[in-house]
Structure 1
Amino acid sequence: MGHRINAMIASVFPNARLSWAKMALSVVALGMLVIIGREFGDYLLRFLLWIDTLGVWAPVTFVLVYVAATLTFVPGSLLTMTAGALFGLVEGAFYTFVGATIGSALAFVIARYLARDAIQRRLVRYPKFAAIDQAVGLEGFKIVLLLRLSPVFPFNFLNYALGLTTVTFRAYMLGAIGMLPASVVYAYYGMLAGDVITLAGGVPSNSGVSYYVTMILGLVATVLVTMVIIQAARRALRNTMTS
């Protein structure tokens, strides 16, 4: 029995070095934004300017789009980066968190009350979810929080999958606070990316080189802090599941 549990845990928690590699690649990708900006900077600017023309409805529109993306399994990282480029770090992360929270709540309700059979059939593709299903019945809020902090499963999939567990809706929603670190990181990345693409696209910028150096260093520091949080969450989740 112990070997089976260990095997399940091993399947849930992949090599941590892979996560570091992914985050390192995301930082390296920043340089690619300059090249991309040469080709697509103008299109991005038009899109952002269109959203910006909506005035007070711009945040509402973004939140609604994010909710729809969450429900339809569209990756939210690009949308979060767009929020950072459009609204800035604080507002971008906040609007992302609001959209993700509403979307995840709706997905939970759909899975639990409206489309349970369909979601259960989809779960067959994720046999490692059985380990999470057992643990969440014991410590719902703690497990949900750790799952949000540690991206063991895809965000959109997790929203529906948790609706099939015994976790209460209250514990599920409280665990949404674990989405904040990722929201901040991607919004920060988007804020910086937006500036870089604007600069690369030929649009005048009033910011000097020191501004971009500071932004890049801040991004690296934010990524490192987030990775520390993720690794701590992985360890805590592993310990909870083995206890």
Structure 2
Amino acid sequence: MAEIEQAIENFIGQAGIWAPLLFILLHLIRPLLFLPVIAVCIAGGFLFGFFQGALLSFIGLTLMSFVSYVLINKFPRFRAKLASLKDKLFPDRNLTVSQVMILRVMPFVHFHLLSFYLMEMTNTRREYMYYSALGLIAPALLYTAFGRAISQFPWYTTVSMFLLLAAVFSFIDKWQSRKHKVDKL
């Protein structure tokens, strides 16, 4: 294992400025390779350390959000597939920006679907990018810092963390529902 780590460090050292750029590019082609966000962010923490890995992951994820915006607006079939997926996963439910941000932290939640939700909630590309970037800070930091540890936790710890996030998601949903009912009165 130490030999593999040494080989990776040598590769990054020799790649120079190209290593961070290639890592950001990996974030952009990640969906084509069917890699989960968490895996790429874990790799960033391993390869570049916490600070640089988190920063590079944030940049890559933010660029991917922009690419999502362009793809959803340019390709009606892609938009239709996301709308269909939205109806299957969350029928008759409108998520709030806070809920989308929490879902961004959950591993294996469809990145483009969450981008689609944000697009429906915002009026301009600038507003979309603002909320999207804001919602990507936590996953970039969390996955980079704790991704390796999370993947090594026992299954019951991982399930507990998922249930905690689901409870927070549900709480925000109920709080928003009550708020809307009060606003209607």
Number of positions where the alignment pairs a residue of Structure 1 with one of Structure 2: 170
Of 114, 118, 135, 1:158 maps to: 114
Match of 2:140 in 1: 183
**Distance 1:81-1:74 versus aligned 2 partners, 3 A rule:** same
- Corresponding residue SS for 1:74: coil
Match of 1:171 in 2: 127
The offset of 1:233, in angstroms, is 4.2
Match of 2:11 in 1: 50
**Distance 1:188-1:164 versus aligned 2 partners, 3 A rule:** closer
The offset of 1:49, in angstroms, is 3.1
Letter in 2 for 1:162: Y
**Distance 1:228-1:124 versus aligned 2 partners, 3 A rule:** closer
CA contact (8 A) 1:88 1:191 kept: no
CA contact (8 A) 1:149 1:181 kept: yes
1:184-199 map, 5 Å: 184-189=141-146
CA contact (8 A) 2:45 2:144 kept: yes
Q: Which runs of 5+ in 2 are unaligned?
A: 181-185
1:100-115 map, 5 Å: 100-112=61-73, 114-115=74-75
Pair 1:96 & 2:37 matched: no
CA contact (8 A) 2:100 2:114 kept: no
C-alpha distance after superposition, 1:36-88 (max 9, x if no partner): x4xxx644543453233211222122111112214665312111111101111
1:1-243 map, 5 Å: 37=1, 42-43=3-4, 45-70=6-31, 73-112=34-73, 114-126=74-86, 127-132=88-93, 135=94, 141-142=97-98, 144-149=100-105, 153-159=109-115, 161-162=116-117, 165=120, 167-168=122-123, 169-176=125-132, 177-189=134-146, 231-241=167-177, 243=180
C-alpha distance after superposition, 1:81-117 (max 9, x if no partner): 11101111111111101100110111122112x1122
Distance (Å, rounded) in 2 between the aligned partners of 1:93 and 1:230: 24
Distance (Å, rounded) in 2 between the aligned partners of 1:97 and 1:110: 20
The offset of 1:192, in angstroms, is 6.7
CA contact (8 A) 1:73 1:156 kept: no
**Distance 1:166-1:77 versus aligned 2 partners, 3 A rule:** closer
**Distance 1:118-1:67 versus aligned 2 partners, 3 A rule:** closer
Greater relative contact order (Cα < 8 A, sep 6+): 1
Distance (Å, rounded) in 2 between the aligned partners of 1:234 and 1:164: 22
Cα RMSD, aligned residues only: 3.7
CA contact (8 A) 1:150 1:233 kept: no
Q: TM-score, normalised by structure 1?
A: 0.55
Q: TM-score, normalised by structure 2?
A: 0.68
Q: Which runs of 5+ in 1 are unaligned?
A: 1-36, 194-215
